Structure 1
Amino acid sequence: MKRWCRVLLGLAWLTAACGETAPSPGGSPAAATDPIEILRAAAGSGDREARASLALALANGVGVVRDDAEALRLAKLAAAQGSADAQLLAGLLLREGRGTTADPVAAFRYTLAAAEQGGVDAQFALAWTFEHGIGVARNPEEAARWYRKAAEKGDLAAKRWLARAYFEGIGVPRDLTLAARWRIDAASHGDADAQAEAALSFLRGEGVLRDDSAGLRYLEDAAESDNALAAFALGALHETGARGATADPNAALAWYRRAAALGSEEARARLEAIEAGASASRRDP
């Protein structure tokens, strides 16, 4: 899961360490100011945060050659000392089989421990684990519970997942009003996928009063952020002049082309149909 890997970039402790000048084991001036050597010295002395940060650096190859096995070793040490970041990292490495044989059950245990400490990334990761049944029985209700915890702390992807859960009734009772509310919440913070989904809520009047103007505005925001679905929808609306959109063949073509460039097969098919129609008209004036 790409989203889970975000923890690998959380090197706040490492950044702070860059300004320190503690002596290194070797005692050389260069080593004394090398942040990685500072971390190694502190980690070797048992410092929990140094172990966690060095594990993160090694797992991501930041300032050092990537070494998953050593990253996992240090992450486990820091995790045993209670570091939530290290617990989450250990879970990631074990799930992916990096530096060791994949062990999804152990990965789940580490992720659960991290999530119970309240970190939003860990809570999202645990929810994803329950959703997909990785190392634990698939449990949509538990997935929804942990996604909600992450969503309530502002995580946009978790908000979008909750919206989908309420819209489809996955792990929670189906509730279009709550689905729209979470969609709009995430959309208002710039999540392009949520903007496209919020647009559909407004255009269809699902969970909110129908509002074509708001729907078009959210579609435009999403499309400008390279959401293919939104770009295709704008093309269709400008082609037909529906839902308050201005009928504009040129705008329709522009949006279809943008959607096609973003991978929309529907947009490619529509462009081919438009071109075929134009070719037929040229042959038979």
Structure 2
Amino acid sequence: MKYLAAAAALAWAGPALSQTAPLSADVPSAARMSPELLAATEREAGPVLVALEKLGGGKGARDTAGGLRLLREEAGKNNELATILLGAIYGDGAYGVPRDSAENIRWYRRLFDGARPGSPWRGGAAAALGTYYMRGEGVARDDAEAARLLKIAAEAGDKEGMTWYGIVLASGRGVPLDHAAAVRWLTPPAEGGDRAAMTMLGFLYERGDGVPRDPARALQLHRAAADKGSNLSATRAALLLLTGTDQDPKLAFHYAGIAAAGGESDAMAIFGVMHLNGIGTPVNHEEAVRWLRPAAEKGDAAAMLELVYAFARSQGKAVPQAEAYVWLQKSADLGNPQAMFLLAGSIERGFVPGTRDDAIGWYRKAAAKGDTKAVDALKRLGVAP
């Protein structure tokens, strides 16, 4: 089929381009195109292949300027394939071309605004532009405009558009919150292996938003997304494997480790706690501290408190006493009721500086957050909560 020439042009460009929104892996099917559109696409592919050969040095020395010039000439003739490739090249800085967000957006906008009826590329351009407006990248952030463009992309069958439109529906950014609609849009790309779609759909199944709550399905989706590099899904998979009905501490340790190594602060805390308590791995206080400390430094109040426990369990070997009390104070200041209770007790026993009134004050703060041990301590001291 002649349409394969257009696919060949994309295949040539693909290794140098990472912007998947306009250059979807699913090249629009010739079966869904009119004969006129099919013929136009075939005509466009030939000169684009020549331009890509110049850019990539496929038949001799690389000619970046010549390749770009040919693509611009073709874009000036309303060659849609050339237009969207120009956008992607400037967006990625491919073929040695400096990245230029203004040029990137200009070419996508030109394609979106001037595409032929039934254009196979307009949906991809809409998806790319929608994500730019969503992030405020190269344009002022505009959630409503992002949602409008992403809806157009999704309705055109663009998988990237379906994913991001589903995400904005699930979060209510620029559109009314609609979990059921989010599930409908996210399901096709998730089933096709889209990582972001699997992660968002996993959250919806976890919470039972738009679908009946299904932890097993949520775990399946998060594991699939984690295996494709999602640190967020790896963290969720670890938690589900630790707390769900089908618990597997060793597998949880595997996913927590992946996400922790990827810099996910929640995963660092989980991974540290697993080392500290021997969950899915032998107890290792030093390794626990190695992961808990960076999570605490990122402001995780629970990780701060775990460092205090690491001090106690290692008898000061893994965490010095002075550092432990600094973390205890910080965790209490951030509103952690367990830290408040422990700080009050430490003051009362003279382990850290403070008065009886200071201890009572922290007991009261912990009690106000529902800590029953703090309530008992106040009764013992003969004061009201």
TM over 0.5: yes
Query: Per the alignment, in what secondary structure is the counterpart of residue 138 of structure 1?
Result: coil
Residue of structure 2 equivalent to 1:199: 272
Identify the match of residue 243 of structure 1 among 282, 295, 314. Answer: 314
What is the rounded CA distance, in whole Å, between the counterparts of 1:90 and 1:130 in structure 2? 18
Superposition deviation, residue 150 in structure 1: 0.6
Alpha-carbon contact 2:240-2:247 (below 8 Å) kept: yes
Q: Percent identity?
A: 30
Alpha-carbon contact 1:127-1:143 (below 8 Å) kept: yes
- Counterparts in 2 of 1:175 and 1:225: CA distance versus 1, 3 Å: same
Identify the match of residue 175 of structure 1 among 240, 245, 248. Answer: 248
Amino acid at match of 1:193: D
- Number of matched residues? 257
- Counterparts in 2 of 1:114 and 1:103: CA distance versus 1, 3 Å: same
Superposition deviation, residue 128 in structure 1: 0.8
Q: Does 1:230 align with 2:303?
A: yes
Mean CA deviation greater in 74-83 or 129-138: 74-83
Amino acid at match of 1:198: F
- Counterparts in 2 of 1:179 and 1:70: CA distance versus 1, 3 Å: closer
* Structure 2 gaps, min length 5: 1-17, 23-67, 79-101, 116-121, 357-385
Determine which structure has more spread, i.e. the larger CA radius of gyration: 2
Superposition deviation, residue 158 in structure 1: 1.3
Q: Does 1:72 align with 2:128?
A: no
CA deviation map 1:98-150 (0-9, x unaligned): 44444322221111122223221111011111111222222111111111101
Amino acid at match of 1:157: L
Residue of structure 2 equivalent to 1:137: 212
Amino acid at match of 1:84: K
Identify the match of residue 134 of structure 2 among 59, 68, 80. Answer: 59
Indicate the RMSD between aligned Cα atoms, in angstroms. Answer: 3.3
Q: Does 1:41 align with 2:110?
A: yes
Alpha-carbon contact 1:68-1:99 (below 8 Å) kept: yes
What is the rounded CA distance, in whole Å, between the counterparts of 1:62 and 1:245 in structure 2? 48
Alpha-carbon contact 1:124-1:146 (below 8 Å) kept: yes
* Structure 1 gaps, min length 5: 1-9, 26-32
What is the rounded CA distance, in whole Å, between the counterparts of 2:229 and 2:103 in structure 1? 36
Amino acid at match of 1:259: S
What is the rounded CA distance, in whole Å, between the counterparts of 2:165 and 2:218 in structure 1? 20
Alpha-carbon contact 1:212-1:244 (below 8 Å) kept: no
Query: Per the alignment, in what secondary structure is the counterpart of residue 111 of structure 1?
Result: helix
Greater relative contact order, per chain length (Cα 8 Å cut-off, separation 6+)? 1
Residue of structure 1 equivalent to 2:290: 217
Alpha-carbon contact 1:169-1:175 (below 8 Å) kept: no
What is the rounded CA distance, in whole Å, between the counterparts of 2:222 and 2:170 in structure 1? 20
Query: Per the alignment, in what secondary structure is the counterpart of residue 108 of structure 1?
Result: helix
Mean CA deviation greater in 160-169 or 87-96: 87-96
Q: Does 1:273 align with 2:321?
A: no
Residue of structure 2 equivalent to 1:81: 156
What is the rounded CA distance, in whole Å, between the counterparts of 1:136 and 1:219 in structure 2? 35
